[in-house]
Chains A and B, each alone.
Chain A
Amino acid sequence: MTKKEVLLKIENLNLHFKIRVGDVRAVDGVNFELYKNEAVVILGESGCGKTSLAKAILRLLPNNVKTYDGKVTLKGVETMEMDDELYRNEIRWNKISMVPQSAMTSLNPVLKVGNQVAEPLTIKGMDKKEALEKVREMFKHVGVPEDFINRYAFELSGGMTQRVAIAMALITVPDLIILDEPTSALDVLTQANIMNLLKRIKKEEDASYMLVTHDIATSSELADRVIVMYAGQIIEASEAELFFKKPLHPYSKKLMASVPKLRGTDELEFIEGKPPSLIGIDKVAGCRFAPRCAYKMEKCEVEAPPVYIKGDNKVKCWLYENKDEVD
């Protein structure tokens, strides 16, 4: 495989929140790289910190943050050192944009959608007429009828609202688009249409995606690489080819076995127990998945596993200390 251009590099990113009963370690020492024109899927159950990771990258933080540190490098530029003003002007929505979880509620109900999509442009001083012209082009591109720019959000269907949200993320031609569960509230047909659209944009415009989701089946529509998060940490990062056939980490294996398949005959499995609370998770000495793991060894409860590199894939599990494969 040829060496690809690194677009986003994240090193040891931490995001901890402070609440009354302790610290919530939502993102706890995360490292990964995202290449140009690549779609990385961040998979995980709810409460594993995947949305917090997306927000940490975009620096959309609530006001009870306790620790926010690490190194985020976008195209060789260190963004963590920028102050908020500079970050807002330079990075957010210019270099990285986001399609929020439910487009229905994230659009402003009292503004026409055309004006909303044009906002990232007009705020930078572009003439309004010119901006609306660009919005028309963008609407045509994502499959929204052009005259919709004069409509309000409630006049659109779920699929159309999602397309408008995608148009809003694309309008500034960003380097990276973060998609936070872009299809979770949509029907299967609409979902497939949106996925087709995202695939087309990726192919035609070399877009890079970071897709945050818990829906494994839909994520396979877009994924080049899959990153699995558990309790605030990355436990596996694998190429999609391998991941959907034979995931490495015991948690990923279980997760794959829990996906209902339309044509398969496999018995479904579920994971006993529930994810650990992120409050005081740093006091857990061993692997965070150990209490639910079928392969648990003595070592697992004593010491946290390091990250083992197996070819193009990384896995954080003691099973891979001496072996390349586990059945």
Chain B
Amino acid sequence: MAKKSRKEEIITFNYPDDVVLAVNDLKIYFELKKFGFGNAGYVKAVDGVSFDLHKQEAIAIVGESGCGKTTLMKSILGLYEPREGKIIYKNEDINKHDRVTKRWYHSQVGYVQQDPFGAIAPFLSVRRILEEPLICNGIKEPGELDTRIRKVMEEVSLTPVDDFINKYPHMLSGGQQQRIVIARAMILQQKMMVADEPVSMLDASVRVEVLKLLEGLMLNHGLSVIYITHDLSTVRYFSERIFVMYAGRLVEKAKVNDLIFNHKHPYTEALLAATSEPDAANAKIYKEIPEGEPPSLLHPPPGCRYHPRCPKMIDGLCNVDNPPEFEVGPDHLVSCWLYKDDIKD
């Protein structure tokens, strides 16, 4: 909990204890300026996203680039101010204008970037990189700094520690750099971690190593993880629930196996069909993939945002009204008119 000295809450939230993070109808719009001051419309990057993240749970958010997944992630990190909706971490609104809460929140959340080499300062040694978050959070005693850095480096298996601690990022391989980034994201004993395509820049064999490391850390430290990716094939080994995102909205939320073997939304189907598996037979067939590209978020299509590409579009419904979430099974929600009761058959 945050410091006690804060003023009395006006709104209180009553989420159960095991809900770490609750995102409630979040809308992030970016204003476009015309001639520097006039309004030229809004880019609706995230448009009504809601979900809960439980303790020790890993969720994955899957979608194409430009669908708003990075914006969603950055707003979860508290970098963007929502236009509407709330992000609530352990019953605290993180966008409340209160420095103490924000500071506390930032020390609770770790961030693993996509490109490790771009994420760590090239002119700092490993020791300095890992020291920084501790110093920022008031741990200054050299002995303690050293023990904590060594401990976290052993956890991400950068061993023997003495070989690595004085090295600079360019002396390390991609996998090792990514371990440094992970170590930095958990050195404050964070409870939640946001990972933005943590393995997409790595080689196939190293990729598995890093995924396994993350999985182990999750179990050992009770971390909750939000894993953002466009690659469905790595998701299965890692997370329990998958949310599929399209043009700023979550279109399908399901448990991993439900999503892979019993998916409902036409977009999920296309995503799964596009994911390759190593099989020589692939070379002989064409994949059935909808043509076209994700819509502009400045003027998104009316109704369901997938309807211009959707092969099962229902005229007069899909292109008029936005579908609400229909429950198609336990823990399985889908935003698609095809699953409305009187249309289903």
Return the CB mask of A193-227 against B: 1 if under 8 Å, else 0.
10110011000000000000011111111111000
- Among B174, B211, B287, the most chain A Cβ lie within 10 Å of the Cβ of B287
* Residues B236 and A262 in contact, CB atoms below 8 Å apart: yes
Complexed CA–CA distance, A256 and B278 (Å): 8
Docked-complex contact B283 and A220, CB < 8 angstroms = yes
Say whether A200 contacts B231, CB under 8 Å.
no
- A interface footprint on B267-285 (CB within 8 Å = 1, 0 otherwise): 0001111111111101100
For B249, list chain A residues within 8 Å (CB): none
Stretch from B8-16, B116-124, B288-296, B324-332 that touches the partner: B288-296
Complex-state Cα separation, A271 to B208, whole angstroms:
9
Task: Kindly list chain A residues whose C-beta atoms are within 8 Å of the C-beta of B274.
Answer: 188-189, 191-192
- C-alpha spacing A300/B272, complex, angstroms: 42
Query: Are B279 and A262 within 8 A (Cβ)?
Result: no
Q: Is B136 an interface residue (CB 8 A)?
A: no
Pick from A158, A188, A224, A258: contact of B204, CB below 8 A.
Answer: A258
Whose C-beta in chain A lies nearest to the C-beta of B233?
A260
Q: How many residues of A contact B (CB 8 A)?
A: 49
Q: Is the CB of B280 within 8 A of A255?
A: no
Contact (Cβ within 8 A) B204 A216: yes
Q: Are B270 and A45 touching (Cβ within 8 A)?
A: no
Given contacts A46-B203, A255-B205, contact A262 B283 (CB under 8 A): no
CA distance A200 to B275 in the complex (A): 19
Does residue A289 face the partner (Cβ distance < 8 Å to B)? Answer: no
**Looking at the complex, which one of B65, B205, B272 makes contact with A262 (CB distance below 8 Å)?**
B272
A274 nearest CB neighbor, chain B only: B173
Question: CA of A188 to CA of B233 in the docked complex: distance in angstroms?
Answer: 11
Taking a contact as CB atoms under 8 Å apart, the answer to whether A215 and B204 are in contact is: yes
Contact A218 B65 (CB under 8 A): no
| In contact, A193 and B289 (Cβ under 8 angstroms) | yes
How far, in Å, is B237 (CB) from chain A's closest CB? Answer: 6
Q: How many residues of B contact A (CB 8 A)?
A: 42
Instruction: Determine whether the beta carbon of B278 is less than 8 Å from that of A196.
Output: no
Central interface residue in B175, B203, B237, B290, by most chain A CB within 10 Å: B203
Closest B residue by C-beta to A251 = B205
A193 to B272, CA, bound (A): 13
What residues on B are CB-neighbors of A274 within 8 Å?
Answer: 173, 175
Question: Does B207 lie at the interface of the complex (its beta carbon under 8 Å from any beta carbon of A)?
Answer: yes
Q: Which residues of B contact A240 (CB under 8 A)?
A: 280, 283
Please determine whether A262 and B260 come into contact, CB atoms closer than 8 angstroms: yes
When each residue 144-170 of chain A gets 1 if its CB lies under 8 Å from chain B and 0 otherwise, what string results?
000000000000011100000000000
Could you say which residues of chain B place their CB within 8 Å of the CB of A271? Answer: 205
Q: Are B208 and A262 in contact (CB under 8 A)?
A: no
Does B52 sit at the interface, judged by CB under 8 A? no
Contacts of B286 in A (CB 8 A): 196, 199-200
- A129 touches B (CB below 8 Å): no
Interface contact B205-A220, CB-CB below 8 Å:
no
A200 to B286, CA, bound (A): 8
**Given A215-B204, A240-B283, A244-B278 in contact, is the A192-B233 Cβ separation under 8 Å?**
no
Specify which of A159, A222, A264, A269 is in contact with B208 (CB 8 Å cutoff). Answer: A269
Which chain B residues border A95 with CB–CB below 8 Å? none
Q: Does A283 contact B (CB under 8 A)?
A: no
Question: A189 and B271: CB pair below 8 A?
Answer: yes
Complex interface bits, B184-222 against A, C-beta within 8 A gives 1, otherwise 0: 000000000000000000011111110110000000000
Contact A220 B289 (CB under 8 A): no
Q: A46-B203, A270-B208 are in contact. Are A188 and B64 (CB under 8 A)?
A: yes
Q: Is the CB of B209 within 8 A of A270?
A: yes
Interface flags for A23-52 (1: CB within 8 Å of B; 0: not) read 000000000000000010000011000000
Q: In chain B between 211 and 248, which residues have their CB closer than 8 angstroms to a CB of chain A? A: 211-212, 230-234, 236-237
Q: A263 CA to B279 CA in the complex, in Å? A: 12
- Asked whether, in the complex, the Cβ of B291 is within 8 Å of the Cβ of A221, the reply is no
A-chain residues with CB within 8 Å of residue B280 when the two chains form the complex = 220, 223, 240-241, 243-245
With a cutoff of 8 Å between Cβ atoms, the chain B residues found around residue A215 in the complex are 204
Task: Give B207's nearest chain A residue, CB to CB.
Answer: A258
Select which of B64, B211, B236, B282 is within 8 A of A189 by beta carbon: B64
Q: What are the residues of chain B within 8 A of A244 when measuring CB–CB?
A: 278-280
Can you identify 29 A-B contacts, CB atoms within 8 angstroms?
A45-B205, A157-B293, A187-B230, A188-B271, A189-B271, A200-B286, A214-B203, A217-B275, A217-B278, A219-B278, A221-B276, A241-B280, A243-B280, A244-B279, A255-B205, A256-B278, A258-B204, A260-B237, A261-B278, A262-B233, A262-B277, A263-B261, A264-B277, A268-B208, A269-B208, A270-B205, A270-B207, A270-B209, A271-B205
What 10 pairs across the A-B complex have the smallest Cβ distances?
A192-B274, A270-B208, A217-B276, A240-B280, A271-B205, A260-B233, A187-B64, A270-B209, A188-B274, A268-B208
Supply 8 further A-B pairs (C-beta < 8 A) apart from A214-B203, A220-B283, A245-B280.
A190-B64, A196-B287, A217-B233, A220-B277, A220-B278, A261-B278, A268-B208, A274-B173
